[in-house]
Structure 1
Amino acid sequence: MFRTALALTLALAGPALATQEYILPTLFDVTGVASDDVLNIRAEPNAKAAIIGTLAPDAFRIEVVEERQGWARVNTGEGSGWVSARYLAYRTDVWQPGELPPAFRCLGTEPFWDAKVEGGDLVLRSPDDQAGDRRPVQGVLDSGIFRDPSRVVVARDMTLFSHPQICSDGMSDRLFGLAATLVLHGEQPSLLSGCCTIQP
């Protein structure tokens, strides 16, 4: 009887215990901050560190790229800083199977490039081509792991891979939570590397 009850309890609890809340990077909303106050962004993950920016009490869709002992790293201006994670509520609508967050965008340097999905096309832009090279998207693939941000965007003659990894654009002190690899197919295949963001 006890063994049957234990087995039933584990069977019922198993999926809930196995479900992870989120994998970074993902988006959060500010919560629990008074309407006449702000959430401080600090240079280091501690309450005594210098304040380098603020978030409004109603700020939403804030991208968090890293967590450390109750602190969350966010980008501000050309740099990044830390906010207390107790004042952030994660969003459950960010990483949906087979989809990209609306603000998903990847960029790189040496050479400079920028890629995002617009109107069903994967559009690759460079300083010399602001109109962009547009390729129809054939599919957005995910790992099948619940809320895993890893994505592959398959387009005609172009494939964009992104996976969770702290990434620098090499031009600023901002840090990103997704590393990107863009493969250009065709007569002269090439590979570009960079970072991705989901911050609106």
Structure 2
Amino acid sequence: MRLIATIAVIALAACSAPETSDAQTGSGDEIRSPIHAPAWIRVVGVEEGDVLNIRSEPDASSDIVGTFLATEGRIEVVETRSVGGQTWGLVSTGEQGGWINLAYAEATDMVMIADSPVPLGTFCAGTEPFWNLAFSPTEATWSSFETEGETYEITESESAASRPYPWMFAMRGFGLALVTPEQCSDGMSDIPYAWSVLIVGHDEGGHVLYEGCCRLETLEEPSE
């Protein structure tokens, strides 16, 4: 009887566990445009109820460190790497990074902040001192230990002279944010960031300079 019960439990677990896809399983062989980082993608070629594995390395035999649902959208790719004929993308999952097989991804159109190349939903933050800057289409909201949720109008949005980057956002009554597409570390986690940022603000004592990283927050796509 104990053997029968054990077999039943194993069978039930197998039925309830989600399917997974990466370089070894699933279709993922449709021809799509190349993806170059930083890029914004959505999951494709993964059946409903299935998940796309996030691996510790760009290798289908490496450890699984997370998953994306078949409906996952607005994922930011920080780096791409070609390994053994497969193209992999570095993404964030929890407090670390991981790799997905880009055969299961396609580029997605993004709404940009104030006519810039920086996508809406990008969130910037820094540590020691801790602060963050969140963007809407025409405004930016600043929070720190001293202030909480102060919103400033974006009055200018333009690139460096004769250069595509850094991209400058001028915020009325606050200062400037200079955003550059490059890998960045917050110094406290293993999260990969696609953007670095320098913020030139001011307070009662004069100008202040903050350095930090930015990333796009992942969203699940709404069901149709």
Equivalenced residue count is 178
Is 2:103 the counterpart of 1:86?
yes
8 A Cα contact 2:41 2:105, kept in partner: yes
TM-score (norm 1): 0.78
Secondary structure of residue in 1 paired with 2:103: helix
Separation in 2 of the partners of 1:81 and 1:195? 18
8 A Cα contact 1:26 1:94, kept in partner: no
8 A Cα contact 2:112 2:120, kept in partner: no
Q: 1:144, CA displacement in angstroms? A: 10
TM-score (norm 2): 0.70
Which of residues 121, 146, 152 in structure 2 aligns to 1:103?
121
8 A Cα contact 2:177 2:199, kept in partner: yes
Consecutive unaligned residues in structure 2, runs of 5 or more: 1-32, 219-224
8 A Cα contact 1:65 1:175, kept in partner: yes
Between stretches 93-102 and 77-86, larger displacement belongs to 93-102
Question: AA paired with 2:81?
Answer: R
Which of residues 136, 140, 154 in structure 1 aligns to 2:157?
140
CA displacement, residues 119-149 of structure 1 (integer Å, 9 cap, x when unaligned):
74322211332233x332112224699xx78
Which of residues 160, 168, 175 in structure 1 aligns to 2:192?
175
Change (3 A) 1:198 1:143: farther
Which of residues 62, 68, 93 in structure 2 aligns to 1:49?
62
Separation in 2 of the partners of 1:97 and 1:121? 9
Between stretches 106-115 and 93-102, larger displacement belongs to 93-102
Secondary structure of residue in 2 paired with 1:74: strand
Separation in 2 of the partners of 1:195 and 1:78? 14
Identity %: 31
Between stretches 56-65 and 90-99, larger displacement belongs to 90-99
8 A Cα contact 2:112 2:137, kept in partner: no
CA displacement, residues 5-61 of structure 1 (integer Å, 9 cap, x when unaligned):
xxxxxxxxxxxxxxx966522210001112232110000111110001111112111
Q: Which has the larger radius of gyration?
A: 2
2:201 corresponds in structure 1 to 184
Mapping for residues 26-45 of structure 1, pairs under 5 Å: 26-45=39-58
Question: AA paired with 1:199?
Answer: E
Supply the RMSD in Å over aligned alpha carbons: 2.6
Separation in 2 of the partners of 1:144 and 1:95? 20
Secondary structure of residue in 2 paired with 1:86: helix
Q: 1:173, CA displacement in angstroms? A: 0.9
8 A Cα contact 2:114 2:138, kept in partner: no
Is 2:75 the counterpart of 1:62?
yes
